[in-house]
């Protein structure tokens, strides 16, 4: 943390023009140290950077025909085995009747 404070001091004074004798300087050092080491302080501060926006697909997108997963209940599995029907075929017919 000490080296980070030295680095922040150099940046604030040399690059950003802060006066190290002012309360504003100490406030800025404190804020930036808390951002760098949030785990050292009890309260986590939110960073002031803007959050990226989420990009979503349009609502009019058509669904691609693909593989649909059908979960069979234990009773459905028992019925398919009793009838001697493969589970895939039973699930396929079950899906057709539901549509």
Say if CB 4 and CB 37 are below 8 A apart.
yes
Summarised one tens digit per residue, pLDDT across range 51-79 is 666 665 556 655 556 666 778 888 888 88
Say if CB 22 and CB 28 are below 8 A apart.
no
Say if CB 38 and CB 45 are below 8 A apart.
yes
Q: What is the mean pLDDT of the chain?
A: 79
Is the predicted pLDDT of residue 45 greater than 60, yes or no?
no
Share of the chain above pLDDT 90, in %: 11
Q: 31 vs 51, which has greater pLDDT?
A: 31
pLDDT of residue 56: 59
pLDDT of residue 47: 56
């Amino acid at each position: 943390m000490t080296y980070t404070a030295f680095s922040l001091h150099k940046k604030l004074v040399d690059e950003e023009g802060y006066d190290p004798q002012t309360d504003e300087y100490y406030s800025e050092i404190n804020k930036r140290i808390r951002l760098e080491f949030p785990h050292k302080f009890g309260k986590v501060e939110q960073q002031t950077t803007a959050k990226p926006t989420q990009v979503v697909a349009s609502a009019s997108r058509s669904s691609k025909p693909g593989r649909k997963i059908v979960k069979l209940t234990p009773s459905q599995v028992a019925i398919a085995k009793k009838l001697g029907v493969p589970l895939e075929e039973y699930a396929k017919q079950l899906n057709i009747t539901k549509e």
